[in-house]
Amino acid sequence: MRRSRPSSTERLLVQQGLSSVEYQGSSTIGSGGDGMAIQGFTQEEFERTLNEYVSPSSPIESFEHLVGRQKQLEKIEEAIISPGRHIFIYGDRGAGKTSLARTAAYKHHPAHGEPVYTACGRGTSFASIVRDIVSQLDQRSELRSIDRTLTAGGKALGLEGSYSELEKAKSVENLDLNAATAAVNEAALRRQGRSIIVVDEFENLPTIDDRHLFAELIKQLSDRRVPVSMVFCGIGKSLDSLLQGHNSAHRYLEEIALPAPPLTFTGCWEIVDSASGALGLKIEDTPRLRIAQISDGFPHYVHLICQKLCWRAFRDSEVVHELTSEFYMDAIRDALSSVESRLRSAYDQATKKDRDSYEEVLWAVADHFELQRNNRRIYDESYMRIMEDVQRKPLDFTTFQSHLTSLRSSRHGAILEMPRRGWVQFSENLIRGYVRLVAESKGVRLALEHEPGPEPKALTAAARSQGVHPAYQGRRYTWGSGR
């Protein structure tokens, strides 16, 4: 286990000739009850270190904190240095698209200036996004100050001082492809080197025509060798679903499909181990394994649980050296209350009609690493075990199936969908982690398909078909204080 670097206070004490024993006995650091239970860290240092390693709500921008994306970064790197090639990153909500795009953009952008970053929203259009890009490339926030040597492209964007507000609005509305290409070209040529432009949340672009215009823009930028690399990000299962049938841009695009689940166990553990290591803490095997199992590969949950776990340790009344199962159970409850409200509402809508029975059906669907699963197997392998855990009478299979059907209806928020007859999956994979988190907070353990232990080891098919791993059989919630 990595030791924490000495804190600035620690270094100061050493400079002042105080021994580590005197230092440990100090009433201000590592003394537990005062809310600073991690040895060597003042609150300020703790927060700084934690924020450096753990970011549940903001994308990663630096290479050293982006885990499990080596292959994708290499593909992006090759595309960036290949003239006329652009990039499209797609995958599940929360899979890490923005983090990958921003990290790559910062890594490969020339030393001067910043990469351009813009995001689509309901109120945006092709014209407004291009306008934003050109304005950022110019690095001028006040459009009025833009020099008057702009050509037709710039003028069409309304990027000229003499344009009235009305004229600007009109020209942005009517911006055509040639004018957009010319404007991006002009602005890019005024910068040194190849500019990287990230266009995020492409799925929010409301009209199909605007999406097609972007596909055309990519072609134009490539054909005219404009010195920019565009990096698009969007939620989707395929590039086709995002470009909505516009195929001609495909050969200009490097497609980066993020995997589902987005991170492996090893990736999840890299986040956990580097955060705990930076704080000089060990973590017990069981909570370490459970974080990876609960998170379902979604880095947001790994960061969130890890953040809450470290805060629990920091606020403990004793000096803490190890993150234990007890801290973990508290962290799970803390994490649950911090999860974005959109997920909570989706869960509530799905289960509110008859919380008891729907909740357990939903838990059963989220129990396994396979994203699509056969109804019968969900019932036999997961549902029956869960009902035994909660010591309640199970529904019969027919009623169970009709619950699954209801969970696909709009009354239940269509939380599930049917990929083929007799099978179900979550309509959004990110929700699976939330469902697991709720079950965990109530003492019901899902996703036990890996052996407990320090390294990942998937259960064999035979073990899986027998349901829960023997290590967990007959064990109900026994961790922590049992609350």
Ligand X SMILES: Nc1ncnc2c1ncn2[C@@H]1O[C@H](COP(=O)(O)OP(=O)(O)OP(=O)(O)O)[C@@H](O)[C@H]1O
- Candidates 91-99, 215-223, 347-355, 408-416: pick the segment binding ligand X (CB under 6 A): 91-99
- CB closer to Mg ion, 100 vs 187: 100
- CB closer to ligand X, 73 vs 177: 73
- CB closer to Mg ion, 133 vs 233: 233
Q: Decide if residue 185 touches ligand X (CB under 6 A).
A: no
Interaction partner, residue 317 (Mg ion, ligand X, none; CB < 5-8 Å by kind):
none
DSSP string covering 111-165: SSS--EEEE--TT--HHHHHHHHHHHHHT-S-GGGS-TT--HHHHHTT-STT--H
- Candidates 90-98, 146-154, 209-217, 438-446: pick the segment binding Mg ion (CB under 5 A): 90-98
Encoding tokens for residue 244? 């909505």
Beta carbon of residue 344, minimum distance to Mg ion (angstroms, whole number): 20
**What is the three-class DSSP state of 357?**
helix
Among residues 436, 443, 196, the alpha carbon closest in space to that of 325 is found at 443
Long-range contacts of 386-392 (CB under 8 A, 24+ apart): 386/360, 386/439, 386/444, 386/446, 387/360, 389/443, 389/444, 389/445, 389/476, 390/360, 390/444, 392/356, 392/360
- Candidates 95-103, 135-143, 221-229, 336-344: pick the segment binding ligand X (CB under 6 A): 95-103
Q: Decide if residue 234 touches ligand X (CB under 6 A).
A: no
- CB closer to ligand X, 96 vs 394: 96
Q: Are strands 228-235 and 86-91 parallel, antiparallel or unpaired?
A: parallel
Q: Are strands 423-426 and 373-374 parallel, antiparallel or unpaired?
A: antiparallel
Q: Decide if residue 67 touches ligand X (CB under 6 A).
A: yes
Which of 76, 95, 105, 323 touches ligand X by CB under 6 A?
95
Q: Decide if residue 97 touches ligand X (CB under 6 A).
A: yes
Which of 39, 46, 53, 56 touches ligand X by CB under 6 A?
56
Report d(CA 370, CA 372) in Å as an integer: 6
**What is the three-class DSSP state of 84?**
coil
Q: Crossing angle for the helix pair 285-295 and 265-278, nearest 10 degrees?
A: 130
Show the binding pattern over residues 93-132: x = contacts Mg ion (CB under 5 A), - = does not.
Answer: -----x----------------------------------
- Count interface residues toward ligand X (CB under 6 A): 21
Residues near ligand X, by CB under 6 A: 55-57, 59-60, 66-69, 93-99, 235, 271, 299-300, 303
